[in-house]
Amino acid sequence: MTETLIAQPHLRLRPTVAVHAADPVTRLGMINQLRRSAGIVLVDPGIAPAGIVVVALDTLDDAALERLRTMRRAGSRIVAVVPMLDARTILPALGAGVRAVLTRPELTGERLVNAVRCVAAGGVELPTVVVRYLVERVDRSTNTVSDDRTLRLATLTPREREVLSLLAQGLSTREVATAMAYSERTIKNVLQELTTRLELRNRTQAVAYAVRHGWI
């Protein structure tokens, strides 16, 4: 499948890269592929921070998205390696900080190195099917709603929707955490991520905006 490079500034950087994968064989394979490139510095994520994180994901569920957000909050840009493409599930990953997406069946050393270099230089590398889906979403949004935050609302995860729905029912942050069996800190982190992404001041605005546009 042809991949589209959206942005690729001149590449002169020597990015520091950490590799995460639940399967040790997969992790070792990606490390060996990256090690062949003289322009990439591999680091141990437990010892030194990495500017780029290459992470192999089995699914893009809430737990995986939270891991990606944690990496982004630590200052890393993310290259995600996924089993298969589904543009609708890729969107939340983009909101969580992913800047390049590769599929395992088509993963080669050259593609992985090029994706890392692209992201290190400030670029974004996405498969054509994802780019097409994003363009279609923008077209629909432009034709129906002028507020670009509506497009970002479309990337809400099931957990984010549930948090907003419970808040809309009048529950406090602590009550939402109890109802969803999460810590109150986790719920606060979800709300902070939402309000930042939607460029809103607080959770009240986020709930009101979501209700007004029929998202919850």
pTM listed for this prediction: 0.59
pLDDT in 10s for each residue of the chain, 216 residues: 444 444 444 344 578 999 999 999 999 999 999 988 878 889 987 776 788 999 999 888 888 888 898 888 888 899 999 988 776 777 788 888 899 999 888 889 999 999 998 888 888 888 877 777 777 766 665 555 445 555 455 567 788 888 988 888 888 889 899 999 999 999 998 888 888 877 788 888 888 877 776 666
Helix (H, G, I), strand (E, B) or coil at 101: strand
Integer Cα distance of 86 and 119 in angstroms: 21
The pLDDT value given to residue 127:
80
Integer Cα distance of 9 and 92 in angstroms: 25
Cα angle vertex 72, ends 125, 173, to 5°? 130
Closest by Cα among 131, 99, 104 to 116: 99
**Sheet holding 3-7: strands in order across?**
3-7, 124-127, 98-103, 77-82, 52-56, 16-20, 41-42
| CA dist list (Å): 72 to 32, 52, 75, 94, 99 | 24, 10, 5, 11, 11
The pLDDT value given to residue 136:
73
- CA 86 centroid distance within chain: 14
The alpha carbons of the chain give a radius of gyration, in whole angstroms, of 18
Supply 94's token pair. 């983009």
The pLDDT value given to residue 164:
87
5-22: pLDDT as tens digits:
444 443 445 789 999 999
The pLDDT value given to residue 213:
67
Cα angle vertex 134, ends 84, 93, to 5°? 50
The pLDDT value given to residue 5:
43
